[in-house]
Structure 1
């Protein structure tokens, strides 16, 4: 896609970088990315997989390589408290679309409290809601309304952690509106609700690396369906 216009067309190893025997290169999904590269679709791409499979590591590294703050926020934010991100972003090169937007936003649930404080201490031209006075879920939704309104790259790391079922559905609607306006989204999620957006690309990460799949074929979806039908089959092993 030489003339594709989405913010990021391809993610690959930077020049001179080869997959090593050290973390995070030892994660199968990261190793595959560094070896083969990854083409990103315009619109929404979901990364789905078990804890430790590398989906959050990939989203974080791509966000930082794009120019976003590692602790969340837009490409202009410089929020730093305690450095804990992996060094993977330094090993990547991004191929950008021709004439694409350079603005982006990184939403990660674990650092939102600090980001709200950062906004209070660094007010912009337009007044922000008092995020700290809202519940965790309400703050998330208000952030979606106030920040998710421009073309660019949006990286989301498990946004469902703060959201109820109905709020997760609202997020699906926001993602659909974003892509209709020309934005590109990369989202790591454990939620079968969030990743049910029609037309989205779904990448399942695991011991096999990265593979394209469909919502119906996701192990996550199959497990939730089976559990909701007969929870006792699963609970007998843990209770």
Structure 2
């Protein structure tokens, strides 16, 4: 099920010349992006714009900039860009019934908001997140609690670097969860540095660079090739890195 079908363009007219969005090649030179698969990945070096574009997509779809579901309405530090309001997007005929924006950067703030909403007396609210405060779990456990308990299917899930809290084994478990949710009519858009997550079959991968954005294949990504080169011969790579 594809709920977000296409970004037709980004209108940067009227943006201030010193706005940082103009300095990101992936944003400045953006033409269009189609979403034809149930799982789409954004990959690339830090600063190439993948998380910025992901945040813009989330906002344009009605999610809170800091993360959470569409009914989360809080702000601890309003630093998000106006990109979400500049996108021209096409949505599918059928609208999703569920959704969540999970981002590592502001996960602490989302966990705090969940605690506050639970204190307000929303009956059974915490059960949607595993029945236990996310602050009383490890970072990885709290991520898994949200994904395992809150993601119910028939939804669009936007994940920003979920691997930051997950061990390699947990990342493989996440692949299984994603696959099960895809079978239940879900769509995922994920920004990641994880070669494990990128291996999800029949997905689209967009690689961000100083040249812009291009669609690519798993084994052609820098994420795959650099990781493979290191693991194939770590001693040699360490030698090269340390210039010994």
Q: Normalising to structure 2: TM-score of the pair?
A: 0.88
Q: Give, in angstroms, the shift of residue 102 of structure 1.
A: 5.7
Q: Give, in angstroms, the shift of residue 181 of structure 1.
A: 0.9
Alpha-carbon RMSD across the aligned residues, in angstroms, is 2.0
Q: How many residues align?
A: 233
Q: Structure 1's 134 and 210: CA in aligned 2 closer, same or farther, altered over 3 A?
A: same
The residue number in structure 2 matching 1:95 is: 90
List aligned pairs for 1:155-174, cutoff 5 A: 155-174=158-177
SS of residue paired to 1:172: helix
Question: How many Å separate the matches in 2 of 1:91 and 1:103?
Answer: 24
Q: Give, in angstroms, the shift of residue 196 of structure 1.
A: 0.7
Q: Give, in angstroms, the shift of residue 238 of structure 1.
A: 4.2
Q: Structure 1's 15 and 8: CA in aligned 2 closer, same or farther, altered over 3 A?
A: same
The match for 1:181 among 175, 184, 208 is: 184
The residue number in structure 2 matching 1:227 is: 230
Where in structure 2 are there 5+ consecutive unaligned residues? 127-131
The match for 2:80 among 79, 85, 88 is: 85
Matched, 1:148 2:119: no
SS of residue paired to 2:95: coil
The residue number in structure 2 matching 1:31 is: 28
The match for 1:58 among 44, 48, 53 is: 53
The residue number in structure 2 matching 1:9 is: 5
Q: Residue 40 of structure 2 contacts residue 188 of structure 2 at CA under 8 Å; is this kept in 1?
A: yes
The match for 1:131 among 127, 134, 142 is: 134
Question: How many Å separate the matches in 1 of 2:223 and 2:68?
Answer: 28
Moved more, 81-90 or 95-104: 95-104
SS of residue paired to 1:139: helix
Q: Residue 55 of structure 2 contacts residue 65 of structure 2 at CA under 8 Å; is this kept in 1?
A: yes
CA deviation string 1:3-43 (max 9, x = no partner): xx62211113366848885421331211233xx22111240
Higher helix share: 2
Q: Give, in angstroms, the shift of residue 55 of structure 1.
A: 0.6
The residue number in structure 1 matching 2:113 is: 118
Question: How many Å separate the matches in 1 of 2:218 and 2:14?
Answer: 32
Q: Residue 59 of structure 1 contacts residue 157 of structure 1 at CA under 8 Å; is this kept in 2?
A: yes
Q: Residue 66 of structure 1 contacts residue 94 of structure 1 at CA under 8 Å; is this kept in 2?
A: no
Q: Residue 102 of structure 2 contacts residue 158 of structure 2 at CA under 8 Å; is this kept in 1?
A: yes
